[in-house]
């Protein structure tokens, strides 16, 4: 537009499009000043001449502002068509500024069409609308369209601080950013909110004032909730949700803020520097930390799940219930294998590759850590070297061999049981299952078919990860826990009730007895 004014290549009709409160009408007035300034047409109107001052005050005879919502009939447009014939009173152009032009009726649009087609040389039209799809295509084709974008949150916060300084109001930086987020890119909404806060709070405004007056959720709360979801901390996430609900926060607004943060996280993973204008530095650090906890495909699924829950919450009387279900489901989904992962694993199996064949040569305490030797298992798989930095305290050096031996899932599981805290959900889960073998990188835990509902309830993503970590520490390789319902499976707690005779067939016990007998004879 600056180039058009500087080169005097002006269109006879302009259309400004964009959401509310971002400056469409203000931009139209600035353009009017540029055209009718005594020094104009110029890209830098002086603001001091009579024409500029009258336009700023809204009483210029040559700049006529019309509200399209209340002057939308064909009679109003017919009167406009009669007035365009008259020359401007003082300025160079007669400028008609029609706000909310999409509110004109079809008849009014058709009446305006002929004037737009062949306007007098001294007339310029400037239209503003939030809904361009409601404007007739015949009107759109005769206008130069400019789309005005939302204002970045950081820029709104800076402008609010400027206003607060001139009004001698103390506005905390966090409060300014909270207002900017709530305004959603509209400066007019942000200024209205600031005016309301001054009426409520006086000359000092903090972030808590903004949150209490408008029912917003603090940015740190959304960050904390996201972190708990990504880490699989179901009780903590639900507890935080209950705190927000009891303090009177709007659940739909909180869901919207959560989805917006996940969207920012998605954009951050794709292009980290894309959010510099909209997100402050502390939130950028949180995004960087959370980006390492979840892959992009999982994040997309998470956004879809919460978006679906948001749609259900709008019509549900108990909104907190749907929010709780969405959080629990999201955390459980994070622990499940995706279709892409299954396909990748099938491809590895087809090519004869497994996780056990990947190169690994960590060094601990000056030398390579050798895998644990055990007794043959149903899977017959070979273990890889222990992960770097992880020793295996459950096995002595005498049982470490130079060559990799088959993995004994029962021995590994017995070691894991000694590491599980008492009186925990994980302990309850471990008492319902027992190892039944190994399938690739899957550690198979069997349970009785009747115990399936209990196992599914206890096998949260967090419990799975804890089990997999303990299994990794015990065996020196990565595992994925897989629960299998199988007839004849006794829970781990049944071992304590077994009499000594039930171990007579155990080859390890028999070997120990024979060695003991030989020592006694000698």
For residue 144, the SS3 value is strand
Residue 509 confidence (pLDDT): 59
How far apart are the two ends of the chain, measured CA to CA in Å?
A: 105
Residue range 213-245, pLDDT digits in tens: 887 778 888 999 999 999 888 999 999 999 988
User: Would residue 421 count as lying in a domain?
Assistant: yes
User: Would residue 357 count as lying in a domain?
Assistant: no
For residue 437, the SS3 value is strand
Within this chain, do residues 134 and 159 fall inside the same structural domain, yes or no? Answer: no
* Of the residues 94, 116, 147, the one at which a domain ends: 147
The 10 Å Cβ neighbour count of residue 502 is 11
Please give the structure tokens belonging to residue 503: 């171990």
Q: How far apart are CA 65 and CA 112, in angstroms?
A: 16
Residue 297 confidence (pLDDT): 85
Within this chain, do residues 409 and 275 fall inside the same structural domain, yes or no? Answer: no
Q: Please count the structural domains in the chain.
A: 4
Within this chain, do residues 58 and 135 fall inside the same structural domain, yes or no? Answer: yes
Specify whether the CB–CB gap between 93 and 122 falls below 8 A. yes
User: Would residue 515 count as lying in a domain?
Assistant: no
User: Would residue 355 count as lying in a domain?
Assistant: no
Within this chain, do residues 236 and 320 fall inside the same structural domain, yes or no? Answer: yes
Nearest-CA neighbor of 411 among 290, 504, 507, 489? 507
Residue 365 confidence (pLDDT): 33
User: Would residue 317 count as lying in a domain?
Assistant: yes
Q: How far apart are CA 74 and CA 188, in angstroms?
A: 31
Q: How far apart are CA 374 and CA 389, in angstroms?
A: 22
Q: How wide is the angle at C-alpha 325 spanned by C-alphas 322 and 330, nearest 5°?
A: 125
Q: How far apart are CA 65 and CA 98, in angstroms?
A: 6
Within this chain, do residues 383 and 423 fall inside the same structural domain, yes or no? Answer: yes
Within this chain, do residues 385 and 486 fall inside the same structural domain, yes or no? Answer: yes
Residue range 370-419, pLDDT digits in tens: 333 333 333 333 333 333 333 333 333 333 333 344 578 888 888 888 88
**Placement of tokens 């043959």 in the chain:** 376
Nearest-CA neighbor of 360 among 336, 396, 388, 380? 388
Instruction: Give me the numbers of helices (H) and strands (E) for the chain, helices first please.
Output: 23, 12
The CATH number given to whatever domain includes residue 178 is: 1.10.8.60
The CATH number given to whatever domain includes residue 487 is: 3.30.300.180
The CATH number given to whatever domain includes residue 20 is: 3.40.50.300
Q: How far apart are CA 38 and CA 186, in angstroms?
A: 32
Q: Which residues pair with 123 in a beta bridge?
A: 94
Residue 373 confidence (pLDDT): 36
pTM, full prediction: 0.54
User: Would residue 17 count as lying in a domain?
Assistant: yes
Q: Which residues of the chain have pLDDT under 70?
A: 337-341, 352-406, 490-522
The CATH number given to whatever domain includes residue 255 is: 1.20.272.10
User: Would residue 467 count as lying in a domain?
Assistant: yes
Within this chain, do residues 107 and 23 fall inside the same structural domain, yes or no? Answer: yes
* Of the residues 172, 188, 214, the one at which a domain ends: 214
* Of the residues 107, 128, 147, the one at which a domain ends: 147
Within this chain, do residues 379 and 392 fall inside the same structural domain, yes or no? Answer: yes
Cα 399 to chain centroid, rounded:
48
Within this chain, do residues 178 and 196 fall inside the same structural domain, yes or no? Answer: yes
Which residue range is the domain that position 239 belongs to? Answer: 219-334
Residue 520 confidence (pLDDT): 63
User: Would residue 320 count as lying in a domain?
Assistant: yes
Task: Write phi, then psi, for 431 (nearest 5 degrees).
Answer: -80, -10
Residue 283 confidence (pLDDT): 84
Within this chain, do residues 206 and 223 fall inside the same structural domain, yes or no? Answer: no
Within this chain, do residues 224 and 202 fall inside the same structural domain, yes or no? Answer: no
Helix (H) or strand (E) holding 142: none
Within this chain, do residues 286 and 419 fall inside the same structural domain, yes or no? Answer: no
């Amino acid at each position: 537009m600056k180039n058009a004014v500087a080169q005097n290549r002006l269109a006879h009709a302009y259309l400004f499009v964009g959401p509310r409160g971002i400056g469409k009408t203000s931009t139209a007035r600035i353009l009017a000043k540029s055209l009718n300034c005594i020094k104009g047409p110029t890209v830098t109107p002086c603001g001091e001449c009579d024409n500029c001052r009258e336009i700023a005050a809204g009483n210029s005879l040559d700049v006529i502002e019309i509200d399209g919502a209340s002057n939308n009939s064909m009679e109003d447009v017919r009167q406009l068509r009669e007035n365009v014939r008259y020359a401007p009173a003082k300025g160079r152009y007669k400028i008609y500024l029609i706000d909310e032009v999409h509110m004109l009726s079809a008849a009014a649009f058709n009446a305006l069409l002929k004037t737009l087609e062949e306007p007098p040389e001294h007339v310029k039209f400037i239209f503003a609308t939030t809904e361009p799809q409601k404007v007739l295509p015949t009107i759109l084709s005769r206008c130069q369209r400019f789309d005005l974008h939302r204002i970045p949150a950081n820029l709104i916060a800076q402008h609010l601080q400027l206003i607060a300084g001139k009004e001698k109001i103390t506005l905390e930086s966090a409060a300014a950013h909270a207002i900017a987020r709530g305004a959603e890119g509209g400066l007019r909404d942000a200024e209205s909110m600031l005016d309301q806060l001054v009426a409520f709070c006086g000359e000092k405004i903090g972030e808590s004032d903004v949150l209490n007056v408008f029912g917003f959720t603090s940015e740190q709360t959304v960050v904390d909730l996201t972190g708990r979801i990504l880490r699989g901390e179901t009780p903590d996430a639900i507890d935080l949700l209950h705190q927000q609900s009891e303090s009177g926060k709007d659940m739909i607004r909180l869901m919207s803020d959560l989805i917006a943060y996940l969207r920012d996280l998605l954009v951050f993973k794709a292009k980290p520097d894309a959010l510099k204008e909209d997100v402050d530095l502390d939130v950028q650090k949180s995004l960087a930390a959370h980006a390492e906890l979840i892959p992009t495909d999982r994040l997309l699924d998470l956004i879809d799940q919460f978006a679906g829950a948001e749609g259900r919450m709008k019509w549900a009387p108990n909104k907190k219930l749907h929010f709780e279900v969405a959080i629990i489901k999201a955390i459980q989904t994070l622990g499940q294998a995706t279709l892409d992962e299954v396909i990748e694993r099938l491809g590895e199996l087809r090519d004869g590759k497994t996780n056990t064949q990947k190169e690994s040569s960590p060094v601990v305490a000056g030398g390579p850590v050798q895998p644990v030797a055990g007794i043959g298992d149903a899977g017959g798989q070979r273990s890889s070297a222990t992960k770097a930095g992880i020793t295996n305290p459950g096995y002595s050096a005498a049982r470490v061999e130079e060559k990799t031996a088959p993995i004994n899932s029962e021995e590994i599981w017995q070691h894991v049981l000694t590491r599980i805290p008492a009186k925990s959900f994980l302990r309850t889960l471990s008492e319902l299952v027992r190892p039944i073998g190994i399938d690739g990188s899957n550690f198979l835990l069997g349970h009785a078919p009747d115990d399936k509902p209990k196992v599914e309830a206890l096998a949260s993503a967090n419990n799975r990860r804890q089990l997999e970590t303990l299994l990794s520490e015990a065996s020196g390789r990565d595992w994925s826990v897989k629960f299998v319902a199988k007839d004849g499976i006794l829970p781990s707690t049944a071992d304590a009730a077994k009499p000594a005779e039930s171990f007579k067939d155990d080859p390890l016990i028999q070997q120990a007895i024979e060695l003991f007998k030989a020592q006694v004879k000698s």
